[in-house]
Structure 1
Amino acid sequence: AQVAALAAPVASALKREKHEVAARQARDAIALRVQAGDVNEVVSGFLEQRWTTVLTFAWTIEDARPGAVDNATRAMDDLIWSVKPKATPEQRKALIARLPRLLQTLNKWLDAIKWQDAERLQFFARLAEYHAAIVRAPIELSPERQLELATQAAQQDALRKVEMENAAAEQAAARVAEVSAVDGLERGMWLEFRTGEGARKVKLAWVSPLRTLFIFSGAGRREAFSLPADKLAAVLNDGGARVLAIDGVVGQVLSDAMAQGAVNDSNISAVALRVGIGHVTGL
């Protein structure tokens, strides 16, 4: 009965967790590029306001459509590259050759997230102006200087890619290293929440695979409720909730033993003895 009662909340929690993880990955990917400082203002605003939604959507469908994230990320990088100055005829020819496919990909993703208002038309109009200005800008450099600038641009792009990869790795490591009040919580534990109506005891019935959502079930017919990890950690840190015990006789005994000190051979023997007596006496 408990499993059946939790089926809907668990399904909703899994969907919510997947979307939150996707949104975080999208924000991180765009922030890495915008913070590099060489992104056109119009393009950076578009990425933060619209492409975040596109990347989030791409992450949510990646399992069903492998390559979606790579496609959306590559389109973002191509867009950033397209509005950078092109100092040589070869760079401008490359821009002209890549523009049709880039615009087609951008529009495909924007259709997918259903962005259809006038602001979209204005963005593409301004983008066309930037591209036209880049192609028409006079070239007053010698072939040697053009080659030098092209080489420098390629080196800068390579260094920027390495920097973004390192920054992404540091972000991932920082998340792994984070210690939260919820790290030790496991299914079966009982917690007490202090509310305006008094204390309420609930059981931790389910923890999401990535430990970002926690579902609690109460006594009687009270409906299960969920809390995201950050809010649960805040409540625990503020004293608004506390862990009471682990579910079951064995869990309670282990909890008592850990509270008294380190678990050694004598603790284990005492635990075994108490559990055995409980079984024999029927307690």
Structure 2
Amino acid sequence: MKIIDRKTGRIIKEEEDSSKIIEFLYHSFIGRIFLKLFFARPYFSKLLSIYYKSPVSKKKIKGFVKKYGLDGALLKRDFKSFDDFFSRKEKINVDKEGFLATASGKLRVFKIGEDKELYLGNKKLSIMIKGNVYNIDKLLKAPLPDWAKGGYLLLYRLSLCDYHRYIYPIAGRCEKRKEIAGRLESVRRDAAYWRAFAENKRVLEYWKTESGEMLHMEIGAMLVGHIHNYNKLLFYRGEEKGYFSYGGSTIVEIVGKEIEIDEDILENSKRNFETKIRIGERIGYGKIKET
């Protein structure tokens, strides 16, 4: 899968951290045993978090900034640990109009048909891994609501180098919240990430917004045992919702017919491109409704 930078229109190559380790864990017999017994377990994430929150981990910051070409000014800030650096707050420029990007990262958008299946253009998406079919119901651990027919599923993939705080894309209120226990598989493209979405630890919220009903979900990944949400009942467009601890992560959103996604992002998705977007930029628009 290729990535296109929305700002420049250029096709970019993503720098992957620990790619050899991921290949070992997912593409070798011994690696899969280690993955099942250790790396995908929540306790492994908790043990690692002890190191990342310690002052000793600060030495990792310089190499990380250099590897991913981040702003060198970050090295002048007094971070207490690598975890402090990774979950840092940055100034976010929010576009004045439209439905916003919830996070910085790589975005794909799928159409939800009247049959509640996912589509890329006119092509139905068939997700089968080792004989098991993966669909939206498995992701939600509940039937997809009828209001989602004809809407969209937005898939945000956050790599290590991306900003790991996220915002509310629209104003509204949270009607229901539930946590779903699970493992912590990798959400990298070369891993079976649709299976990870349906089996990983995740937090799901049902919203009523000014443009209809909506579902929002944060999904943990390998090394990410902690999803930090502020759990607000009423929220405003562009307001910070929470952040992830260290690791690659994913956010899934499901919107109804009242929200339309910008055509360039839809076209990129149809061509099997991920679109690199920044948090707070407009990615669509919606018809205003009373909440």
Q: TM-score scaled to structure 2, two decimals?
A: 0.20
**More contact order relative to length (CA 8 Å, sep ≥ 6):** 2
Which structure has greater strand proportion? 2
Q: TM-score scaled to structure 1, two decimals?
A: 0.20
Max Rg structure? 1
